[in-house]
Structure 1
Amino acid sequence: MRGKVAFITGGSKGIGYGIAESLAQEGVHSVLTSRTQANADKAAKAISEKYKVKCLGIEADVRDYKAVKSAVDRAEDAFGQIDYVIANAGLGHFGSVEDLKVEQWQEVIDTNLSGVFYTIKSSVEALKKTKGYFISISSLAGENFFAGGSAYNASKFGVTGFTQAVMLDLRQKGVNVSTIMPGSVSTYFNGNEPDDKDAWKIQIEDLGEIVVDLFKLNPRTLPSKIEVRPSQPPKK
């Protein structure tokens, strides 16, 4: 894996950052996107200095196809290749369908679902060149619905189905495709502040380890859909 290049959306914090760190430990260079250049630069600087790999931060809102395509083009120009793409950027708005605003629905769908499409659409030619790997970060909410989750469920059910169809589209082209479906993860998602109360949750480095394992697996074998959950959640 050393010397390969990963493109990670939403890479400035949370799951994306954890994946970038795990890959950096294997000598993988990264391009991290964020909605703000300041956050992208901060994360890229931290990883490059700690792990002595190259890391580039790029401002790109995944709701904007042109912004994602520009970021992918910049990544390929800077490194000459893209071996791994992780579509991680996501957000959530929760509440009864009676209260959910149209703007909230659109933001969730545009970010979580259309953003994944824009990411693979922008990078598929680069991945075909390297016989690379595409991973989307879905959720257990992509199979399990819950009250107040209509927008989030719709987006993640969509990501799960979309990614499995893409897997069938691309596997004969030499591009492996997987979706990872985590349960509760210790991140800043939905206003959470990670601390000791989150010790029971999946940690971002755990997901990073899974990604590394996928990339190290012989490419003839493809775990196309991976459910991940805390082993000992609090009793209800």
Structure 2
Amino acid sequence: MMDLKGKVAYITGGSKGIGHGVAKTLLNAGMKVAISGRTLKTVQEAASILGSEKSVLALESDVTSLENEQQAINTILQRWGHLDVVLANAGVGHFAPVDEMVPEQWHQMMNTNLTGVFHTLKASVEALKSSKGYFMSLASLAGTNFFANGAGYNATKFGVVGFTQAAMLDLRRYDIKVTTIMPGSVASYFNDNDPSEKDAWKIQPEDIGQIVLDLLMIHPRTLPSKVEVRPTRPDLK
């Protein structure tokens, strides 16, 4: 099992919601965590809530830019010398009938949700080879279940699932583990939601953090390559 004390994780989109919840869980397990987002001030504020500069690193990076992600990884390696876990979590969503969706919405989702995952993996894969580390993507049940008004979002999440599962087959020969996490409704800030008591029935960010922690602690001979999770009682919404 992976000894987590002193291990280093990188989480994209880590300033709030799922990414922030996972970061908190990993820090509590003794890891060092770098979080990134598009606006440095916002990420720095989130990092200050999580912990000290010794264990938390705030990075400005737009996952739609491979150069940004490469610089983020370089900064992590300069600070801590190694990288053990990467969670490609950054994502956006626009929901509209396909005949009403505008190209800008389509391209923003594709560039962030799908190409962004490629950029994060491409930038970090050599470091993960060195550490025999773990790459995880935050997909969605929307990556297997299509729905009306979701054509663009479904396309990106179906793509993330396919990309990550193929990457799993490519990278396991380097002892890199790869998992796709596919949650249903989560109490996050996604799609302009403001989490409150109304979201108590949903999966909570710390629940995703526990899943990530469990994946890291499982015996290395076993790989849960795809994990689907959903609220237990959606009838309570």
TM-score range with shorter-chain normalisation? over 0.9
Partner SS state of residue 234, structure 1: helix
Of 2, 6, 10 in structure 1, the residue corresponding to residue 5 of structure 2 is: 2
Residue equivalent to 2:48: 45
Partner SS state of residue 178, structure 1: strand
- TM-score, normalising length: structure 2: 0.97
Residue equivalent to 2:183: 182
Distance in 2 separating the partners of 1:181 and 1:235: 21
State the AA in 2 paired with 1:3: G
Q: Is the counterpart of residue 113 in structure 1 residue 114 in structure 2? A: yes
Distance in 2 separating the partners of 1:45 and 1:212: 22
Q: Is the counterpart of residue 90 in structure 1 residue 91 in structure 2? A: yes
Partner SS state of residue 23, structure 1: helix
Partner SS state of residue 135, structure 2: strand
8 Å contact from structure 1 (residues 24, 53) kept in 2: no
Q: Is the counterpart of residue 28 in structure 1 residue 31 in structure 2? A: yes
Residue equivalent to 2:173: 172
Partner SS state of residue 122, structure 2: helix
> How far does the alpha carbon of each residue in 1:181-236 deviate from its partner, in whole angstroms, 9 at most, with x for none?
00000001101110000000000000000000000111110000000000010269
The Cα shift of 1:53 comes to 5.5
Distance in 1 separating the partners of 2:60 and 2:236: 41
Partner SS state of residue 221, structure 1: coil
Distance in 2 separating the partners of 1:219 and 1:89: 26
State the AA in 2 paired with 1:93: H
Residue equivalent to 1:152: 153
Residue equivalent to 2:128: 127
- Number of aligned positions between the proteins: 234
Q: Which runs of 5+ in 1 are unaligned?
A: none
Distance in 2 separating the partners of 1:40 and 1:9: 10
State the AA in 1 paired with 2:209: G
Percent sequence identity over matched residues?
53
8 Å contact from structure 2 (residues 201, 236) kept in 1: no
